[in-house]
Structure 1
Amino acid sequence: MNYRHAFHAGNFADLVKHAALLRLLARLMEDGRPLTVIDTHAGRGLYDLAGEEARKSGEAEAGIVRLMGAKDAPAAFRPLVQAVAALNGGGPVRRYPGSPWLIAQALRPADRYLACELRKEEHDALRSALKGRANVETLCTDGYRAAVERCPPRGRALLLIDPPFEKPDDYGRIVETLEGARASNPAVQALVWLPLKDLETFDAFLRDLEDAGLPPALVCEARIRPLADPMKMNGCALVLWNGPDLATDLADICGWVAQALGDGGASRVYRLPSS
């Protein structure tokens, strides 16, 4: 599919991904050890919700705007709500932070962040958004390849893999990237975002993870509607691979999104064993 994130910034899937990402970063930074974060598909970093694309889709109104006004959102959303409020000066939500902005804000002096974006115009915007940030590097390159080549052989590393799924080989390349990074650093961790259209495609990906003999993973699904039409994005999923136990947070995040923002939505969190 042809995917431009400016149309979708701040939608339900971003809420799932970014709330989980912030909780994960907080957990990984608890013990004080340095962390390297590699973002394979970083995007532009900041999104204008008053722009033509966002206004045309209306997805931010049904996503982040709803969250910012919600009284019943669980505590796991609090870091994201605070970040969005700070970015907008406490006023109406006109800008939305992508993963690069959120990661850069969370970095400590000893941490490192590599943000990869293959599209030149998106990378130019990303570089501008993160200009002057310490310990941040942006690359206009294939993020899958960079994640393997630049994965540090020692120390803690987190891969954030969130492709646009424009190409049919994205699912296979995710598995190959995890295998390659693990060969370099057995302790590497990953957070992978995927769309939910039909279960067969998603289940095939999970089977490929198991067949690759990768470490156990925690999987969460947020379905905003029944998986009846494979041409629609009916929900999204996160796979937390080799990471800390965030089952409670992920259940709260996916459960609220499915119920508050969905139509006949459902959620589930479960563990994928290693083979």
Structure 2
Amino acid sequence: MNYRHAFHAGNFADLVKHAGLLQLLARLTSGPPLTVIDTHAGRGLYDLAGPEARKSGEAEAGIVRLMRADRAPAEFAPLTAAVRKLNPGPAVARYPGSPWLISDVLRREDRYLACELRPDEHGALKALMRGKANVETLCADGFETAAARTPPQGKVLVLIDPPFERADDYPRIVQTVRAVRRRNGQAQVLVWLPLKDLETFDGFLRDLEDAVDAPLMAAECRMRPLSDPMKMNGCALVLAGAPDELASPLEAVCRWTAQALGEEGEGRVYRLRG
């Protein structure tokens, strides 16, 4: 597997994923303790001045443009605040991955389990999370870990964000969401997916609806028409057990990203069930 998120850190898909994640966490980090399981955590922090990011230019077209935007929706505020905290100067040189964002907002009584299968990426993640008493990192298969380690009771959020390099990533997501919900019927699951062609995405949604008995919500950010399946034409968030109140913030995030950063882009949020 040769995927390295350093090439893509801070791109439009990260803006959608991380803004949506922080909106959801804001609603979960009150009341009883929360457990978060991250199936594909990555290294947690990315150097936007490094050769990978500079070669792709995706951060320049994503987070850099967001940070310069005058009229971005308020729903981006938690993400832009986290980026400013990392970059006190005018340049955006570092970008926070999900482990950084999650661990920064969790309370002392909350718990975070971050899985990363690649040993070098996990080594960087473990070093980054060192000293955080409520954080555990594992160099392990995140799908298997989420299915096995989801607490049977209490508030749970599982974040699933694989690199989609394997042919079985889609069915494994469906299997994992089903296993998590069977262990804890109140668990919420947030899945990030690329949008290339409509049939692949629709097929995944059909499989998920057939396998999972839970309220389901989809948020699409189409950066361009889905006419070339060889391109990443957008991204989507699919949520199991999501609250209705999350629909409006997700729509604002997806719509702005698609229209401000895309080409004839559009964003929408809809219920599949629930």
Is the Cα–Cα contact under 8 Å of residues 41 and 163 in structure 1 kept in the other structure? Answer: yes
Aligned to 1:112: 111
Aligned to 1:44: 43
- 121-130 or 138-147: bigger deviation: 121-130
- The CA distance in 2 between the partners of 1:163 and 1:237, in whole Å, is 13
- The CA distance in 1 between the partners of 2:139 and 2:56, in whole Å, is 27
1:60 correspondence with 2:95:
no
Aligned to 1:211: 210
Aligned to 1:241: 240
**Could you report, residue by residue, the CA deviation over 1:103-131 in whole angstroms, capped at 9, with x for unpaired residues?**
00011011000000000000001111111
TM-score (norm: length of structure 2): 0.98
**Could you report, residue by residue, the CA deviation over 1:136-187 in whole angstroms, capped at 9, with x for unpaired residues?**
0000000000001110011011000000001010000011001111121111
Aligned to 1:272: 272
Is the Cα–Cα contact under 8 Å of residues 40 and 142 in structure 1 kept in the other structure? Answer: yes
Sequence identity (%): 69
Gaps of 5+ in 2: none
Is the Cα–Cα contact under 8 Å of residues 225 and 234 in structure 1 kept in the other structure? Answer: yes
Q: Structure 2 counterpart of 1:5, which letter?
A: H
1:230 correspondence with 2:204:
no
- Runs of 4+ with deviation above 4 angstroms: none
- The CA distance in 2 between the partners of 1:136 and 1:243, in whole Å, is 24
Q: Structure 2 counterpart of 1:255, which letter?
A: R
Aligned to 2:263: 263
Corresponding residue pairs, total: 273
What's the offset of the Cα at 1:264? 1.1
Q: What RMSD over aligned residues (CA atoms) do the two structures have, in Å? A: 1.0
Q: Structure 1 counterpart of 2:257, which letter?
A: V
Is the Cα–Cα contact under 8 Å of residues 177 and 212 in structure 2 kept in the other structure? Answer: no
- The CA distance in 1 between the partners of 2:144 and 2:119, in whole Å, is 17
**Could you report, residue by residue, the CA deviation over 1:184-237 in whole angstroms, capped at 9, with x for unpaired residues?**
111111110000000000000000011114212111100111111101100000
Aligned to 1:3: 3
Is the Cα–Cα contact under 8 Å of residues 247 and 269 in structure 1 kept in the other structure? Answer: yes
CA distance 1:166–1:80, change in 2 (3 Å): same
Aligned to 1:190: 189
- The CA distance in 2 between the partners of 1:96 and 1:109, in whole Å, is 24
Q: Structure 2 counterpart of 1:230, which letter?
A: P
